Amino acid sequence: MFRSKFVVVALVIWLATLTGVTWLLFLVRANTLASLDSEQAQQAWLKWKQNEADQSESGTEPVRRKVPKSDEPPALLLMRDRFAPLLAGALVTWSFFFGFSALVLHGLLHAKPIDRRDGDDLKRP
């Protein structure tokens, strides 16, 4: 009976945390879209991109890097165009870590104590 209670509690906690992760990602998406999907943010991105192109051509920067090709900030593209795979990846990753943690906790709670009085566990066959 204890195992079935553990499973029910673990499932309830898992669903609650999945809901929390989903809500948090939607909140981050809304804030990102509100802040980066404006003309001012677009102009700031284009200005930064042009500065990077100028530095790359002049060779004054210590590390050479590629100039971004996109005319929109990467965070905007990620949250607007690639949100579904981002959400799916986050939920799968969270589920994996939660499941692993639940298995470890289940093992800790249901482990049978080792009787060390006779010293049999120290003998090698």
Q: Where are the domains of the chain?
A: 25-34+43-109
CB 22 within 8 A of CB 87: yes
pLDDT tens string 53-101: 888 777 777 777 788 888 899 999 999 999 999 999 999 999 999 999 9
Q: What is the dihedral of CA 100, 91, 28, 20, to 10 degrees?
A: -70
pLDDT tens string 41-51: 999 999 999 98
At a CB cut-off of 8 Å and minimum separation 6, what does 29 contact? Answer: 79, 83
CA dist 9 to 5, 104, 117, Å? 6, 15, 36
Q: Where are the alpha helices (DSSP H) in 37-82?
A: 39-58, 74-81
pLDDT tens string 10-52: 999 999 999 999 999 999 999 999 999 899 999 999 999 998 8
Q: State mean pLDDT over 100-124.
A: 75
The Cβ of residue 76 has, within 10 Å, a number of other Cβ atoms equal to: 19
Q: What is the pTM of this model?
A: 0.75
Using DSSP, state whether 37 is helix, strand or coil. coil
* Angle subtended at Cα 30 by Cα 17 and Cα 51, rounded to the nearest 5 degrees: 120
